Chains A and B, each alone.
Chain A
Amino acid sequence: MSVHHSVSTHHHGGSGAGWLALFLVLSLLLLGLVVAIATAIGDYAIGLDTVFLAVTNGLGLTGADISPIEQSVVWDLRLSRALVAALSGAGLAICGAILQALLRNPLAEPFVLGVSAGASTGAVCVIVLGIGGGGLSLSMGAFTGAFSAFALVAILSNGATSGPNHTILAGVAAAQLFNALTSYIVTTSGNAQQARDVMFWLLGSFGGVRWPDFHLLIIVVVLGLGVCLYMARALDAFTFGDEDAAALGVPVARIRLVLFALTAMITATIVSMVGAIGFVGLVVPHAARYVVGPMHLRLLPASAAIGAVFMVLADIASRVIVSQQTVPIGVVTALVGVPFFALILYRSRPQT
């Protein structure tokens, strides 16, 4: 419990809507900047001015004369990748914030309901066992696995209505089961190369994403954020527990089930696209709480903004740390995130 407590011991900044608006505008500007940098940087470096023209060309606003290769690298490869990174970061951060509130546990994160374990089982079924005979894509397999895990958790915890700790235990049980299935399949049927593929996929990669991924993800994340904002007041009411929320007029069972299903949906979509990227969903909500306080109407947009910027930065880092090679994104989020988090922990330690 100590992480939760100490991270948000003193709120920074004011508490007015003005501060939040300023913060969001600054974050969006920053996000624009880091996306531009992510688009410019790479094995084939492109100037920021060319990036800008390539983007406006792609949007059909200009018809500037730049080389087709640069146009294609910026528009078809890097921009979609950067935007998917931003949306994944935002989505994971929102899910983390919601699960921390619903489960009343500062260690809750998007994968606590077994979603990533389920996704990996689905992925190995496709990679190793070849289920679907090539007709089933890796993403579809992972998504199916992720949702099966969530369904198991929902059944084990009576539709996620039987209290936070019970739900967490159900999630742990589901994760263990699906991880065991994954290991079983990999060790009995896989070869070394397949095992490596699975491992690499699990640690996350934005390598393969293209515009269709972005289109799907923006619908899921924006809709999800909308629903969550609509329920933000109800989430606040969970501060003192389920029964207290009920006494404040919140339909507890319904809200829990809707929000659990929503987080599972967002997480499963992200995991099936880019793998199980850890740390973002755990840490970003704490950082956001430190900036805007614990009330969800402010916390959710702030988490989304910080998560987006953080993930794009992590993607940039993953491509530049080792030249000619991409470090798995999950490794980078932890490597970059832990020092940041240590700083926040240190600055917000309880004054005794």
Chain B
Amino acid sequence: MTIEAHNLVWGVGRKTIVRDVSVSVQKGETLGLIGPNGSGKSSLLRLLAGLRQPRSGDVRINGQDVARVSRRALARQVAFVQQNAATDTNVSVHDVVKLGRTPHRSALAGWSAADEAAVSNALAQVDMQSRSGQAWQTLSGGERQRVHIARALAQSPIVMFLDEPTNHLDIHHQIEILRMVRDLPLTSIVALHDLNLAAMFCDRIVVMQDGALVACGSPGDVLTEALLHSVFRVAASVSAADASERPHIRFRSE
């Protein structure tokens, strides 16, 4: 198992936000994380990435407890793409992607050929190599998001957490980015709102509601009409021919 979390509990003040969540993800697997707004997806991803300390429970990545590894050692293995990241500083696209190399460089080390290769590869993977010199402030919302994904790729991680990586992207790039995440030899957990994309690109899907996991399994097993009705309060018809095929969801308006 690459990622293993046991009985995670986290909250703020008296409010419990993540309730007793356990998940495990195999090497190379792409796990989809779905759930309504405020159900705790981002909070869970932060716990898994070691950015928050759980009240109880633990997270192991490649067998190591993330609470005991140094931040730097962890960042060499784990990359995190935030739901929304913003800055007032005027940095170029290249500068932003370069930040991804931070955990791999010592304090004063020069810029190596390997670093540059990682950066230009990452930019190429998100189709932004021609924008390397552009100012980050002048990018469109979707372009910013792709640059952030490139930065995570430049970190050369073995585990990647993506918090709604496609919410500003056009349909072509939504599909391209998710296809890339699926095809890379990375273990990844992706929070998504588009259920059809989740069904198309995730090996397994977990569903969160009110901070707890309510379902976990293959897209065909999880995305049922009953679950969509109880968790998302929508009426939908799911067309899944058989278990080997990916389900397709059509929402009904009544």
Query: Cβ of A4 and Cβ of B79 under 8 Å apart?
Result: no
Closest chain-A Cβ to B209's Cβ sits at a distance in Å of 25
- Complex CA–CA separation, A10 to B92 (angstroms): 10
As a 0/1 sequence over residues 217 to 248 of chain A, the CB contacts with chain B under 8 angstroms (1 = contact) are: 00000000000011111101101110110111
Query: Cβ of B103 and Cβ of A249 under 8 Å apart?
Result: yes
B81: nearest chain-A partner, CB-CB: A247
Question: Is A179's beta carbon under 8 Å from chain B?
Answer: no
Query: Cβ of B89 and Cβ of A239 under 8 Å apart?
Result: yes
Q: Which of A10, A237, A246 has the most CB of B within 10 A?
A: A246
> Which of B2-10, B70-78, B188-196 lies at the interface?
B70-78
Query: Cβ of B85 and Cβ of A240 under 8 Å apart?
Result: yes
Pick from B79, B87, B103: contact of A239, CB under 8 Å: B87
Q: Which residues of B contact A229 (CB under 8 A)?
A: 108
Closest chain-A Cβ to B74's Cβ sits at a distance in Å of 7
Closest chain-A Cβ to B193's Cβ sits at a distance in Å of 21
Closest chain-A Cβ to B165's Cβ sits at a distance in Å of 14
Q: Which residues of A contact B167 (CB under 8 A)?
A: none
Query: Cβ of B51 and Cβ of A246 under 8 Å apart?
Result: yes
Name B45-80 residues within 8 Å CB distance of A. Answer: 46, 49, 51, 70-76, 78-80
Closest chain-A Cβ to B163's Cβ sits at a distance in Å of 11
Query: Cβ of A10 and Cβ of B103 under 8 Å apart?
Result: no
Q: A229-B108, A243-B51 are in contact. Are A248 and B100 (CB under 8 A)?
A: yes
Query: Cβ of A243 and Cβ of B82 under 8 Å apart?
Result: yes
Query: Cβ of B108 and Cβ of A230 under 8 Å apart?
Result: yes
Question: Is A338's beta carbon under 8 Å from chain B?
Answer: no
Q: A9-B135, A249-B76 are in contact. Are A294 and B89 (CB under 8 A)?
A: yes
- Complex CA–CA separation, A230 to B106 (angstroms): 9
Question: Is A63's beta carbon under 8 Å from chain B?
Answer: no
Q: Which residues of A contact B137 (CB under 8 A)?
A: 5, 9
Closest chain-B Cβ to A321's Cβ sits at a distance in Å of 35
Number of A-B contacts (CB under 8 A): 87
Pick from A104, A246, A248, A295: contact of B95, CB under 8 Å: A295
Q: Which residues of B contact A5 (CB under 8 A)?
A: 88, 90, 137
Question: Is B102's beta carbon under 8 Å from chain A?
Answer: yes
Q: A9-B135, A241-B85 are in contact. Are A247 and B79 (CB under 8 A)?
A: yes
Closest chain-A Cβ to B77's Cβ sits at a distance in Å of 10
- Complex CA–CA separation, A233 to B75 (angstroms): 14
Q: Which residues of B contact A289 (CB under 8 A)?
A: 90
Question: Is B250's beta carbon under 8 Å from chain A?
Answer: no
Closest chain-B Cβ to A236's Cβ sits at a distance in Å of 6
As a 0/1 sequence over residues 229 to 253 of chain B, the CB contacts with chain A under 8 angstroms (1 = contact) are: 0000000000000000000000000
Question: Is A106's beta carbon under 8 Å from chain B?
Answer: yes
Pick from A236, A239, A249, A294: contact of B75, CB under 8 Å: A249
Question: Is B86's beta carbon under 8 Å from chain A?
Answer: yes
Q: Which of B72, B73, B99, B100 has the most CB of A within 10 A?
A: B99
Pick from B73, B74, B82, B99: contact of A237, CB under 8 Å: B99
Query: Cβ of B135 and Cβ of A244 under 8 Å apart?
Result: no
Query: Cβ of A248 and Cβ of B85 under 8 Å apart?
Result: no
Q: Which of A11, A236, A240 has the most CB of B within 10 A?
A: A240
Query: Cβ of B88 and Cβ of A233 under 8 Å apart?
Result: no
Query: Cβ of B90 and Cβ of A248 under 8 Å apart?
Result: no
Pick from A11, A250, A294: contact of B71, CB under 8 Å: A250
Q: A244-B85, A249-B102 are in contact. Are A239 and B72 (CB under 8 A)?
A: no
Q: Which residues of A contact B51 (CB under 8 A)?
A: 243, 246-247
As a 0/1 sequence over residues 282 to 324 of chain A, the CB contacts with chain B under 8 angstroms (1 = contact) are: 0000000100011101000000000000000000000000000
Query: Cβ of B102 and Cβ of A233 under 8 Å apart?
Result: yes
Q: Which residues of B contact A249 (CB under 8 A)?
A: 71-76, 102-103
Q: Which of B46, B51, B90 has the most CB of A within 10 A?
A: B90
- Complex CA–CA separation, A209 to B120 (angstroms): 52
Pick from A104, A230, A243, A250: contact of B102, CB under 8 Å: A250
Query: Cβ of B89 and Cβ of A248 under 8 Å apart?
Result: no
Question: Is A13's beta carbon under 8 Å from chain B?
Answer: no
Closest chain-B Cβ to A82's Cβ sits at a distance in Å of 31
- Complex CA–CA separation, A11 to B89 (angstroms): 12
Query: Cβ of B82 and Cβ of A244 under 8 Å apart?
Result: yes
Closest chain-B Cβ to A70's Cβ sits at a distance in Å of 44
Q: Which residues of A contact B102 (CB under 8 A)?
A: 233-234, 236-237, 248-250
Question: Is B117's beta carbon under 8 Å from chain A?
Answer: no
Closest chain-A Cβ to B24's Cβ sits at a distance in Å of 22
Question: Is B197's beta carbon under 8 Å from chain A?
Answer: no
Q: A229-B108, A231-B107 are in contact. Are A248 and B88 (CB under 8 A)?
A: no
- Complex CA–CA separation, A237 to B107 (angstroms): 12
Q: Which residues of A contact B87 (CB under 8 A)?
A: 104, 239-241
Closest chain-A Cβ to B53's Cβ sits at a distance in Å of 12
Question: Is A207's beta carbon under 8 Å from chain B?
Answer: no
Name B's A-contacting residues (CB within 8 A).
Answer: 46, 49, 51, 70-76, 78-80, 82, 85-92, 95-96, 99-100, 102-103, 105, 107-108, 135, 137, 155
Top-9 shortest CB links A-B? A249-B75, A249-B103, A249-B72, A8-B90, A247-B80, A240-B85, A248-B102, A1-B88, A230-B107
